Amino acid sequence: MSEQQNPRLDPPGSRDWIVAPATAAGSGAIAVVRLDGPGCWRAASKVWRVSSRSDELPASPLARRLTLGRLVDESGAEIDEAMVAFFPAPHSYTRNDLVEFQCHGSPAVVSALIDALLAAGARMARPGEFTLRAFFNGRIDLAQAEGVANLIASRTRKAGRAALRQIEGGLSEEVLSLRDRAIDLAAEIEARLDFPDEEIPPADRKKMLDAFESLETGIERLIATARKGRLLRDGARVAIAGKPNTGKSSLFNALLGIERALVTPRPGTTRDTIEATLDIRGIPVVLIDTAGVRSEGTGEIERLGIERTLREVEGADLVLFVADASRRPDDEDRKSLDALGSTRRIVVLNKNDLPPASDAAEGFSGLFSPSRDSSDRETETPVVRVSALQHATLQPLETALERSLTGTGEEASEREGTIVTNLRHEERLHVAIEGIRRAHDAFARRESGECAMIDLNEALDSLGAILGLTLDDAVLSRVFNRFCIGK
């Protein structure tokens, strides 16, 4: 639903010609520089000349076709040989005239091209200004614009797919549908305000009460996806903890697939924390290998390492508590487990390749107390048997990790529905559902229609704010300041 029915008013400066590099800073094979604004080809024509390689090339580029040419500065000195593509309005990213230059990826060439375009009358674009123009010109709504920023910032394929669905309008369509249903309810109530003598028949009252419940359920379903959305966008911190010599560093290396942490048979080898980022079923996870926790025989360096371990555990979203499955639990295991407090955890019984202690599992099960999730609810502690030396045994651990982080009871499918990934959207949905619930209660108690309309209008405004139907300069500034220059 990228095409909006009601184009918005132009923002200040929207008639200017703006220029910015669209590719990352630094050297590369190709760099792309964008020029945007009504009639911007006039500026482009001052720096682009048809190539002298062939007489068959056109004197000016064809619309939406790459054309070879030369770039020159204001003095006529040649900058580079480059391709240029002209996208006349409204068939461009911004719905303005837009020109893209594809030159060699030298920072000096890019800088010279931009200087030449500035001399020709353009100005440097602000962060996100190209996408801001697309929004104001009605090509995309605000939720889709935020999807662009999410896609650029995505760190896993699953996060990228969720952002792409947002750009394609998946979230926008659902929010519009919810808003339309709220408008229908408001219209029914407003009609009775205009004609106060008309009674609502019992069948219609039940239909409206059912519509309120259905609307609440739809918003709740979207809100329920926000936890996973935040994980896809921001990732999670997962600390590996436990007493020394349980194979924490071996497990760290096994999950990464490389030997990053030093591993020896001697307890206490790890004295400091080591971090690495990996993709766990589409979730960006910062995995932290920590020093083993024990109460006796520690030197000053090891003591400092344990203090850092406890800080990492406190700040982690989830802890992998690693224990040696070949030994019965002892006081050190108990003390290490107590150090986790109420932090959410998975107990990992490692060294499953060794003969297990006869009562190890039973002994450890008596130590596991419920942890608490982000909503302060008690949760059962998952227990997973692995061998850091056998990669096949890690699959159940990855599944347990995904379930614990996302709160889902089953492994997520590759094809998922709409996911709320932005905190702003989650906040607006919470405001909307509270308004709907208050209006529902007022209607159910047969209170004055004005009371229900106040809350319904608040919900409508909140749903509209997700799409940018109600504009707020502070919100727009917060959204588009997240963008890089050139997008």
Query: Residue-wise pLDDT tens for the chain (487 aa)?
Result: 444 444 455 566 678 999 999 998 889 999 999 999 999 999 999 999 887 655 554 556 778 889 889 999 999 999 999 999 999 999 999 999 999 999 999 999 999 999 999 999 999 999 999 999 999 999 999 999 999 999 998 888 889 999 999 999 999 999 999 999 999 999 888 877 756 555 666 658 889 999 999 999 999 999 999 988 988 888 889 988 888 888 888 888 888 885 544 444 444 444 457 888 888 888 888 888 887 665 554 555 455 556 677 787 788 888 898 888 888 777 777 777 776 776 788 888 888 878 766 555 555 555 555 555 545 555 577 888 888 888 888 899 989 988 888 876 444 434 467 899 999 999 999 999 999 999 999 999 888 788 889 999 999 999 999 999 987 777 778 788 788 887 8
**Residue 75 forms part of a structural domain:** yes
Are 48 and 183 found together in one domain? no
Claim to verify: residue 314 and residue 243 sit in the same structural domain: yes
Among 125, 141, 157, where does a domain finish? Answer: 141
CATH number at residue 162: 1.20.120.430
CA atoms of 403 and 380, how far apart (whole Å): 12
> Does residue 384 belong to any structural domain of this protein?
yes
Is residue 329 within 8 A of residue 302, CB to CB? The reply is no
Residue 63, CB-side half-sphere exposure with 13 Å CA sphere:
7
Which of 90, 95, 86, 89 is closest to 43 using CA atoms? 86
User: Do 291 and 356 belong together in one domain?
Assistant: yes
Q: What is the CATH number of the domain that holds 48?
A: 3.30.1360.120
Q: Note the pLDDT of residue 427.
A: 95
Q: Indicate whether 51 and 200 sit together in one domain.
A: no
One domain, residues 332 and 353: yes
The verdict on 255 and 400 lying in the same domain is yes
Q: What is the pLDDT of residues 138-196, one digit of tens each?
A: 999 999 999 999 999 888 888 999 999 999 999 999 999 999 999 999 988 887 775 65
The predicted pLDDT at position 246 comes to: 84
β-pairing verdict for 28-36 and 18-21: antiparallel
Residue 154 lies inside a defined structural domain of this protein: yes
Burial class (CB within 10 angstroms; exposed 0-12, middle 13-18, buried 19+) of 93: buried
- DSSP, residue by residue, 289-349: E-PPP-SSS--HHHHHHHHHHHHHHHH-SEEEEEEETTS---HHHHHHHHTTTT--EEEEE
Tokens 């614009």 belong to residue: 145
pLDDT at position 10 = 59
- Residue 56, classified by CB atoms within 10 Å of its CB into exposed (0-12), middle (13-18) or buried (19+), is exposed
One domain, residues 303 and 155: no
Phi, psi of 368, rounded to the nearest 5 degrees: -85, 115
Measured between alpha carbons, how far is residue 244 from residues 228, 249, 266, 338 in Å?
A: 33, 10, 9, 15
201 and 327 in a single domain? The answer is: no
Domain extent, residue 328, equals 235-406
Contact between 155 and 479 (Cβ < 8 Å) = no
Give the domain CATH number at 241: 3.40.50.300
Q: Judge contact between 388 and 250, C-beta under 8 A.
A: yes
- Considering the domain architecture, whether residues 219 and 276 belong to the same structural domain is answered as no
Same domain assignment for residues 277 and 212: no
CA–CA separation, 487 and 481 (whole Å): 11
**Domain termination site, one of 141, 161, 176:** 141
Is residue 209 in some structural domain? yes
Q: What is the DSSP letter of 280?
A: E
Domain count, the chain: 3
Q: Are residues 68 and 114 in the same domain?
A: yes
Whether 162 and 260 map to the same domain: the answer is: no
Residue 333 is assigned to a structural domain of this protein: yes
